[in-house]
Amino acid sequence: MKRSLAGALLAMVVVLCLAGAAASVLPKKAASSLEKKYPGWREMKPTEFGEDVTKSVRLHFGKSAVPQRIQGDLDGNKKPDFALLIRKSNEVKLVVLRQLPRDKWDICELYMCTYTGGLQGGMSRYTFYITLRRPGAIAYWQEGKGKSGQLKLRNEAIELNDYGRASMLYYWNGKGFSKVQTGD
């Protein structure tokens, strides 16, 4: 009896772990929409980031966390959305795939950068990454006003972090994405 109960519990744990891992996989229709809008672009790989970046992301956000993809309800419609760092040659973009009714996907480009002559500072890997920010109060820097402010996030949001640069937070304002600087 004890062995069968232990076996059943182990099977449940394995199923739950696999379900959690599968939840971060980009759905086929979302991937198809992304390829259609950005032909030739691909999601960045964890190996393209500095080892310290990947280790830091996994330490703070879980062993299965990756620096190039997050999943959350970014627009408050109770459907899973994705934010990805995609790359083509020396260009990198931060895009959001918002799940709409009837399994349709809206793709928003939030950030784009181009690296010329190699990566910045002679680094061999990218030093930026994205993380999921939970709803709640956040402090941010008001650009142009020279002072800080406070914002209450109603939904999960995307934080673009970069070693040695300001962190930017992209959040849904009810009609589209807005951004604020959250770190220096």
Where are the chain's structural domains?
Answer: 25-181
Of the pLDDT bands very low, low, confident and very high (cuts 50, 70, 90), residue 142 is confident
pLDDT on residue 36: 96
pLDDT on residue 124: 54
Predicted confidence (pLDDT) per residue in 102-118, tens digit: 989 999 999 998 865 44
The per-type count for the chain, helices as H runs and strands as E runs, is 3, 11
Within a 10 A sphere around the Cβ of 46, how many other Cβ atoms?
16
pLDDT on residue 130: 93
Of the pLDDT bands very low, low, confident and very high (cuts 50, 70, 90), residue 30 is very high
